[in-house]
Amino acid sequence: MRRAVLLSPIFLCAAATPAAPQTVEEANTKVSRLIPLTVDAGAPLRMYLTKRLTKRLNEPVHARLIEPIFAFDREVIPAGTEVLGRVSRLVPASKFARMMAIIGGDFTPLHQARVEFTTLTLPDGRQMALHTVETTPLTSIYSPPRKKAKPQKAKKQAGSGGVLGTGKQEIQKQINAAVNSRTQGVADIVRGPDKRERLEEYLLMKLPYRPQWVRKGTRFDADLREPLQFGSATLSAEMLRILGSTPPSDSVVHARLVTPLNSSLAKQGESVQAVISQPLFSADKKLILPEGTHLIGGVTMVHRARWFHRGGQLRFNFQRVELPAAFAPAAVADDGAAAGKTTLASLEAAESSGSTAIKVDKEGSVKAVEPKTRFIAPAISVLIAAKSLDNDRERERTGSPDANVSGRTLGGASGFGLLGAAAAQASRTVGSVLGFYGMAWSVYSNVVARGAEVEFKDNAAVDIRFGSRAPAQPSKFRQILAPVARSEAVAEP
């Protein structure tokens, strides 16, 4: 009894002694967090048209999402969700675009359709109101996949450090192959889907006055004007255990650039920012970087496009990671990139915002590339111009001085479309002049003119790869000359 009395002051002192303060990391691993699931204003909805859109005011628009929409750590709007809208405004094309169309034989009063999207139809049938800024169609065409990936293949790719466990090869395929696909000509009309619609469009585009529409499959990136609310979720302490830690090397995240870039205007050292649009998880499904995480870096190399279709080049990387403001103080930073701390990440794949496809090399440099098929048009125009001169004098002796109807008709069409084909019937000289005009224009535009610039508009889709890149390998020519240069340096006194 006396021992209990003697020990009681000790227990009282221990109880009165304040507990040692917990570190940020200890508090973060013991407390669950209530997370609001919000898609912020400015986030883009990446869509494609499911029906051809006639350029008329208040015309209804039907589209579907290409990519899912995420809020913090989870998907809130799945890919394939139907999006409805309307044509809110018709804007006349610029004078330069109008002049170029007239030179090509198109006398249609060109307009651009500005579209607003107003309704989401979720898979369960519920409709959600939304409000996007006015947007114009992109230059790319999207073809939805006909077959879903096999479960075995998807399971095999999981855990490779990509977006939600998806491998970087699949991401590269989705962005560079699907999103950047464009109609190139008759060959694509024959091979691709919707053959009847494409053939109809191909023929109507030869008329001097033609209907205006936006074709099925055309891409749209519509930014949200107001945020979308999807309630909230409680995340356990275990789920947040490695939040903000260093992503594994070769991890790939899907993001959007918030800094517009153009190889003709960008400067070396210019700041670049991106926002992660899909969360990054570890191999054991723990959250590393949530949606909304900022990546901050800069431009490291830039070259403008040059004559003879040499495209522009651009390279940028990211050195800093910043978690969303609500989680930046609680980020774990024992071994890497916490909020405001440094890391290293570079471009893995990207979607071009311009009219030309782009290619990302092993060092993360991006270059505008044009298909080799562009040389086919000048070659055909040369043959047509030669055919328009096929006015053999022997035909005059046989009573057919103007027998070269096909040659001069093709020459006129090459230079000025169907209107030129009609004008060429006036005389052989008109057909030949128009044929050589078409040849000169085709050679200039496809061979001599400047190449395309690398262009990324606001919210352009990119994939970012964490970890350092392997240094660029010298060319074979430099490898041969290197030993010679070293021997000459040693031989100097």
**What local confidence, expressed as pLDDT, does residue 203 receive?**
66
**What local confidence, expressed as pLDDT, does residue 204 receive?**
66
Higher pLDDT, 386 or 340: 386
> In sequence order, what are the residues at sequence separation of 6 or more whose Cβ sits closer than 8 angstroms to the Cβ of residue 256?
43, 44, 274, 275, 277, 459, 460, 461, 462
Q: Which of 130-134, 135-139, 185-189, 232-236 has the lowest mean pLDDT?
A: 185-189
**What local confidence, expressed as pLDDT, does residue 319 receive?**
93
Stretch 303-329: mean pLDDT, rounded? 88
**What local confidence, expressed as pLDDT, does residue 341 receive?**
60
Cα maximum dimension of the chain: 141
Nearest Cα to Cα of residue 327 among 291, 297, 295, 296: 291
CA distance 247 to 285: 13
Orientation angle between helical segments 428-443 and 376-388, nearest 10 degrees: 160
CA distance 417 to 209: 11
| Most confident stretch, 26-30, 119-123, 147-151 | 119-123
CA distance 26 to 36: 23
**What local confidence, expressed as pLDDT, does residue 193 receive?**
54
Q: How many CA atoms lie within 13 A of 196 on its CB side?
A: 1
Bridge partner list, 381: none
Query: In terms of DSSP bridges, do strands 44-49 and 82-92 run parallel, antiparallel, or are they unpaired?
Result: unpaired
pLDDT(228) > 50 = yes
The beta strand positions in 78-227, using DSSP E, are: 82-92, 111-121, 127-129, 213-214, 219-223
Q: Give the pLDDT confidence of 463-485 residue by residue, as tens digits.
A: 999 987 655 555 443 444 444 44
**What local confidence, expressed as pLDDT, does residue 141 receive?**
84
Per DSSP, the three-state class of 439 is: helix
Orientation angle between helical segments 376-388 and 405-423, nearest 10 degrees: 100
**What local confidence, expressed as pLDDT, does residue 159 receive?**
36
Stretch 136-140: mean pLDDT, rounded? 84
Q: Which of 94-98, 274-278, 408-412, 446-450 has the lowest mean pLDDT?
A: 94-98
Orientation angle between helical segments 428-443 and 405-423, nearest 10 degrees: 80
CA distance 145 to 436: 43
Q: What confidence tier does 428 reach under pLDDT thresholds 50, 70, 90?
A: confident
Which numeric CATH code is attached to 240-370+451-470? 2.40.128.260
The CATH fold of domain 38-139+182-233: Lipocalin (2.40.128)
Q: Which of 109-118, 331-340, 424-433 has the lowest mean pLDDT?
A: 331-340
Q: How many CA atoms lie within 13 A of 384 on its CB side?
A: 27
* Same fold flag, 38-139+182-233 and 240-370+451-470: yes
Instruction: Report how far apart, in Å, the C-alpha atoms of 47 and of each of 50, 86, 140, 346 are.
Output: 9, 14, 11, 26
Q: Which two tokens stand for residue 23?
A: 């570190």
Q: Which two tokens stand for residue 398?
A: 């046989």
Please list, residue by residue across 122-148, b when 16 or more beta carbons sit within 10 angstroms of its beta carbon and e when fewer do: eeeeeeeebebebbebbebbbeeeeee
Q: Which two tokens stand for residue 138?
A: 């992109």
The domain segmentation of the chain, as residue ranges, is 38-139+182-233, 240-370+451-470, 375-448
- What is this structure's pTM? 0.71
pLDDT(378) > 70 = yes
Contact predicate 196/119, CB 8 Å: no
Residue tagged 């499911």 (tokens): 50
pLDDT(14) > 50 = no
Phi, psi of 50, rounded to the nearest 5 degrees: -100, -10
Q: From the centroid of its chain, how far is CA 98? A: 27
* Residue 340, Ramachandran bin (φ over 0: left; ψ between -120 and 50: alpha; else beta): left
CA distance 154 to 175: 17
* Other CB atoms within 10 Å distance of the CB of residue 115: 24
Q: Which of 1-5, 306-310, 413-417, 421-425 has the lowest mean pLDDT?
A: 1-5
> In sequence order, what are the residues at sequence separation of 6 or more whose Cβ sits closer than 8 angstroms to the Cβ of residue 467?
249, 250, 251, 344, 345
